[in-house]
Structures are given as C-alpha cells and as structure tokens.
C-alpha cells in the first residue's frame, strides 16, 4: 500500500509541474537565430520599448506565441515554424523570461 501511495504522489507532482514545463519545452527555438530574425523582421515596425513598457500586451508565454504568430500572419512574413520558435526564444530570453 505505501508504494502505491508514493507512486500516486509522484504522479500528482509531475502533473502539477508539467504544464509549466510543457510551454517552454514545446519551443526549442534558437535565441541566437531569433535575434537575427528580430533585427531583420521586427525592428522596422517597433523598437524594444514595446516589450519593456509597463502596459505591454504580452503577459504569458502563450500570449507571446500568439503575438509572434499574429505578426507573422498579418505582415505576411512567411516565417517557418522553426523561425517562429527561434524568434519566440529570443524574445523570451531577452525581454520576457517566462518560465
């Protein structure tokens, strides 16, 4: 009986931690490549203040993903999934630091 209880406790812990880890694990982007993509595709419209202002629109990792994907679509940048992940990795590493 104690073994089953221990396994259940571990499973509950893992399930509780997994959502936080899953978001960042799903984005294996390369921040270095993302920095170059940012310079080539993003700074023409806005500077770094958009990421650092107090009333910034992006508040979560999923919000960051959505915003980058929206810019990619609306501006018809046609960045690949890998490039989008690289850009998200750069923005998260440089400005947001979502877990």
pTM for this entry? 0.72
Q: How far apart are CA 44 and CA 90, in angstroms?
A: 17
Q: What tens digit of pLDDT does each residue of 65-90 get? A: 999 999 999 999 999 999 999 999 99
Extract the tokens encoding 90.
């750069």
Burial zone of 92 (CB within 10 Å; 0-12 exposed, 13-18 middle, 19+ buried): buried
Q: What tens digit of pLDDT does each residue of 44-57 get? A: 988 999 999 999 99
Question: Of 75, 79, 92, which is closest to residue 27 (Cα–Cα)?
Answer: 92
Contact status, residue 72 vs residue 84, Cβ threshold 8 Å: yes
């Amino acid at each position: 009986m104690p073994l089953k209880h221990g396994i259940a406790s571990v499973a509950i812990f893992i399930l509780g931690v997994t959502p936080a880890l899953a978001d960042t694990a799903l984005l294996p982007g390369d921040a270095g490549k993302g920095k170059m993509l940012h310079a080539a595709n993003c700074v023409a419209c806005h500077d770094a203040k958009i990421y650092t202002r107090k009333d910034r629109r992006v508040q979560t990792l999923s919000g960051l993903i959505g915003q980058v994907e929206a810019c990619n679509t609306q501006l018809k940048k046609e960045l690949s999934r890998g490039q989008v992940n690289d850009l998200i990795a750069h923005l998260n590493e440089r400005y947001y630091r979502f877990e």
